[in-house]
């Protein structure tokens, strides 16, 4: 009987995945209460398995070298930067992900962070709880209307964020590596170069994947070109933004504020500069989570693993060249 192993989970237990996998006639194993995230732990737990389900496991080239019969690694999420895709491909292992599962909730979260920072909601809340009834001490307070909202990365989540920002009264502009400055998206949002977007935007919201090209896409040098009353929002990947440079700019009063859900190291240390920076709203990589989106994410991830193990073509595979050409959908 084929076997799928959940090396780690972001959901407390794996009863949901177990039910799906066993219903497909596949043996299931998990290590609830443990998190097999290091290469050594993953290798130990996956010996003899045909497939793996993971959230944050470090699937290095050494993992694939030690597991030549592994058919699939299915990620509960979109980004696969924790998986050595080239090594998986060389090993004949399919790498599956779940793009687009959190479009609505992540875009909701990005808009929420932007508004909370503009309105200083967390600071006003802390004052009130401390017996201070005086919003003037937290001025300036901003609004959506009359401001420009820059969307960096125009995939499903960036598109949804742009739509919601426009609905609130923001003027929206977009940068995307596939966009051409001077033209517009199908929804009518103008494309700009990244430098142009950073120079004119009052809110800059990041929705791009983490690649070598996008590492520290918002660098210290680019932060220096932004408006002094700009807000930075990041719900994509932590390392897309040079978070220490962002914290320094906030500490020096060179930005209005920042709303950050993702960090270069997670969990972020409470002693990290960004945690001490003023005018910030910080959340613990929570943007993707709602009760509704979690069910969709888990189901699609498990189904990807099931399909590959049973010789079928999965919904999403980032290295489809490893799949059999005649694999049924």
Q: Where are the alpha helices (DSSP H) in the chain?
A: 15-23, 39-46, 61-66, 85-91, 103-119, 121-129, 156-168, 194-200, 220-223, 243-251, 273-276, 291-309
Q: Compute the distance between CA of residue 98 and CA of residue 204 in angstroms, rounded to an integer.
A: 25
The strands making up 257-260's β-sheet, listed across from edge to edge, are 171-175, 148-152, 203-206, 231-234, 257-260, 280-282
**Catalytic pick among 285, 296, 312, 313:** 285
Catalytic site includes residue 237? yes
Tokens 């690649």 correspond to 211
Structure tokens at 152: 């960096």
Contacts of 182 (CB under 8 A, 6+ apart): 190, 191
Tokens 């979260």 correspond to 109
Provide the CA 122 distance to its chain's centre, in angstroms.
Answer: 23
**Catalytic pick among 109, 147, 207, 237:** 237
Structure tokens at 117: 């920072």
The strands making up 27-30's β-sheet, listed across from edge to edge, are 27-30, 3-6, 51-54, 72-75, 94-96
**Catalytic pick among 221, 252, 266, 292:** 266
Catalytic site includes residue 147? no
Q: Compute the distance between CA of residue 283 and CA of residue 114 in angstroms, rounded to an integer.
A: 13
Catalytic site includes residue 266? yes
Catalytic residues: 237, 266, 285
């Amino acid at each position: 009987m084929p076997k799928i192993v959940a090396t780690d989970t972001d959901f407390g237990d794996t009863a949901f995945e177990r039910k799906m996998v066993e219903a497909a006639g596949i043996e299931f194993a998990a290590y609830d209460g443990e998190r097999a995230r290091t290469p050594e732990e993953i290798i130990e737990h996956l010996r003899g398995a045909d497939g793996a389900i993971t959230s944050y496991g470090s699937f290095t080239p050494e993992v694939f070298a030690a597991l030549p019969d592994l058919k699939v690694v299915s990620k509960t999420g979109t980004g696969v930067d924790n998986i050595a895709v080239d090594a998986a491909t060389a090993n004949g292992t399919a790498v599956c992900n779940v793009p687009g599962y959190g479009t609505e909730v992540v875009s909701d979260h990005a808009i929420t962070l932007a508004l909370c920072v503009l309105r200083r909601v967390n600071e006003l809340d802390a004052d009130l709880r401390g017996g201070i009834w005086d919003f003037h001490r937290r001025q300036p307070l901003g609004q959506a209307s009359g401001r420009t909202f820059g969307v960096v990365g125009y995939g499903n989540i960036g598109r949804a964020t742009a739509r919601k920002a426009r609905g609130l009264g923001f003027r929206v502009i977009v940068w995307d590596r596939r966009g051409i400055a001077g033209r517009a998206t199908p929804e009518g949002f103008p494309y700009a170069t990244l430098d142009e977007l950073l120079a004119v935007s009052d809110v800059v919201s990041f929705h791009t994947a983490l690649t070598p090209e996008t590492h520290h896409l918002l660098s210290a040098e680019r932060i220096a070109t932004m408006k002094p009353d700009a807000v930075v929002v990041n719900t994509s990947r932590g390392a897309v933004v040079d978070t220490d440079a962002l914290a320094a700019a906030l500490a020096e009063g060179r930005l209005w504020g920042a709303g950050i859900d993702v960090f270069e190291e997670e969990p972020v240390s409470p002693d990290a500069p960004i945690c001490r920076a003023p005018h910030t709203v910080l959340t613990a990589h929570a943007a993707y989570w709602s009760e509704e989106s979690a069910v969709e994410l888990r189901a699609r991830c498990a189904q990807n693993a099931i399909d590959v193990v049973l010789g079928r073509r999965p919904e999403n595979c980032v290295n489809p060249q490893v799949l059999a050409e005649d694999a049924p959908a």
